[in-house]
Structure 1
Amino acid sequence: MASLNVGSLGEYLREQRRTAQLSLRQLADAAGVSNPYLSQIERGLRKPSAEVLQQVAKALRISAETLYVRAGILDERDRDELETRAVILADPSINERQKAVLLQIYESFRKENGFETEDGAVTEDTDVEGPRTADGSVADPPSH
């Protein structure tokens, strides 16, 4: 079988499995996938689905998003945003309303700084220099 471009994913999974002190069979059982299939993933011969990666991540107690990035399913920037959102949503010290407010603030800061919005639209950087005049130059700050 020809090796797919998932070698780094397989190497990473093998490293994580060994760090967790799990045999291939133990991880396969915990993740609900076959032992031969998991072996092929580790050797870079198979490209697993996002669902399989999620099951493996859960069994290894690592971030599924990290595996998605390694498999080329998710962009690195997307992972950072998802992990930030996941941390906020998982925090037991704040209530649901507070979580929603924090996520709204986070999204507004991302938009202000020119990052993609949830719908994928790219926003422009917001001027931090101050208001602009009709000709586009920065207005003088008000005198006090």
Structure 2
Amino acid sequence: MASLNVGSLGEYIREQRRSAQYSLRQLAEAAGVSNPYLSQIERGLRKPSAEILQQIAKALRISAETLYVQAGILEERPAGGVDLRAAILADTAISEQQKHALLAVYAAFVKENEAGQG
């Protein structure tokens, strides 16, 4: 799993917020997070969870996968097909720890299969 690039994520969210013509306060309210927390995310001081990213994406009317890619949680994929990683990260029925465990197992299987084909 890629590392979280908090700084550029915050810049990206700020750009999206401005292009949607939202104030920081308006986006925070729409996403269900506090104004100071959103400000810290935009300034690269906080690492938001996948669930918070999903709430922000919904408020900005962009795909959560876009923010996951920007955050380095997901690698950019070619268009088409359902992304299992995005589905796992978006699932509210399991904890963040369980999500990361599932993603680790999935990544191990993919790596194993790629090694077997090489």
TM-score by length of 2: 0.65
Runs in 1 of length 4+ with deviation above 4 angstroms? none
Q: How does 1:32-71 map to 2 (within 5 A)?
A: 32-71=32-71
**Given the alignment of the two structures, is residue 27 of structure 1 paired with residue 24 of structure 2, yes or no?**
no
For residue 82 of structure 2, the aligned residue among 64, 85, 90 is 85
Distance 2:63 2:6 in 1: 18
For residues 1-144 of structure 1, what are the structure 2 equivalents within 5 Å?
Answer: 5-77=5-77, 80=78, 84-85=81-82, 120=110, 121-122=113-114, 124=117
Q: Secondary structure at the match of 1:25?
A: helix
Query: What is the letter of the counterpart of residue 74 of structure 1?
Result: L
2:17 is matched by which residue type in structure 1?
Answer: R
Q: Deviations over 1:50-93 (max 9, x none)?
A: 0000000000000111111111111123xx46x6427xxxxxxx
For the pair shown, which has the larger CA radius of gyration, 1 or 2? 1
Could you say what secondary structure the match of 2:117 adopts? coil
Does structure 1 conserve the Cα–Cα contact (< 8 Å) formed by 2:5 and 2:72? no
The answer to whether the Cα contact below 8 Å between 2:5 and 2:70 also exists between their aligned partners in 1 is no
**TM-score relative to the length of structure 1:** 0.54
Distance 1:15 1:5 in 2: 16
Query: Which ranges of structure 2 fall in alignment gaps of 5 or more residues?
Result: 84-105
CA RMSD of aligned residues (A): 2.6
